[in-house]
Structure 1
């Protein structure tokens, strides 16, 4: 026809096997998408009959998966499942540990609330005061000075008045300091009860005014002095008031 010219040659392009496979994969995917959109139901009641046809999986380069690829994918799936399971277990254990800790804390709180107040520590018992060591017995010289001093200590404990000077003065007048002196000439001697000892005491008077704690012997120096001082205190107020025979 006039006005149109056909190309003299048409260049033939060679399609390789890889091109064919890629084109087939793209066409299959496009068909599957179109079928999925067409077959999708208009409501929620989707049944298995309307499900799109399964598409065979392909690898990243567009080729069908080999047995090795599927095995590797299975291992990855197992690893992923194992990781998920381990994560779930760890989470469950952590939750159990947290719950156990909370329960322990609540139990400890209840124990603290219920526990009675600790009793105040008992004070250590006071040690009994040590008894004062007993004073060793006072020693007196075995002579006139010692006899007078011992008699004065006994008289003080018995509340019998008298002084060292009053005792010593009357002793020297009555016996000159001889504890065994005996008057065998006065009325007492005539009556059979002579005066004896440092202060010349007769036996009946000694028996009446004997001071407990001293020997019950008329010629004992201390017993004779304290008995005579006791008698003088009752009759004269004190041995210090006696200046002659009494």
Structure 2
């Protein structure tokens, strides 16, 4: 199995133009350049993939009708849904990403406290608490996933044991055993670690968020993982 990956088994995939109304008189009185502007506005909207982007993140930011699935279908992208920086994506008709000025963006950023990426709420030190804590952090970072999706995969991968480790598969033989609740290998954990969580791969919340971040990039969401991945 190529690295990065995280599972002791074989990874499997899972599966506008604007309408301008008006009278002839109004059209004739339009300022020069209006026709060109109308033509430009009817051109299909596109998005340039940036480093760290994944389909769900883009679909949410660009308000794509039908979500990441529609975005993938519109661009012929299939599992494992890998994107490359600089890749041009066609946005399905109806996408309405709000336009925010750089000044407004900077103002918003300066008003966001540095601690915004971490959760200050107290959670019980059990599986239920770990998952809910992870979900709160994932929400702050725009990482998709549901309680049921996370819980289902945890029970299959580790039966809820945060200290679970696989010392016998090919990853282990290569020196990268699968570890923790969602059986993550160290290179994958390092690559998809989520800011505001521990760098200890055995830490339940850090393990969950890193795994869900990986799943978001590769499968669209941890919710789309229903078997060995």
TM-score interval, normalised by the smaller of the two chains: 0.3 to 0.5
| Structure with more of its chain in helix, by fraction | 1
Higher relative contact order structure (alpha carbons within 8 Å, sequence separation ≥ 6)? 2
**Whose strand fraction is larger, Structure 1's or Structure 2's?**
2
TM score, norm. by length of structure 2: 0.48
**Computing the radius of gyration over CA atoms, which structure comes out larger, 1 or 2?**
1
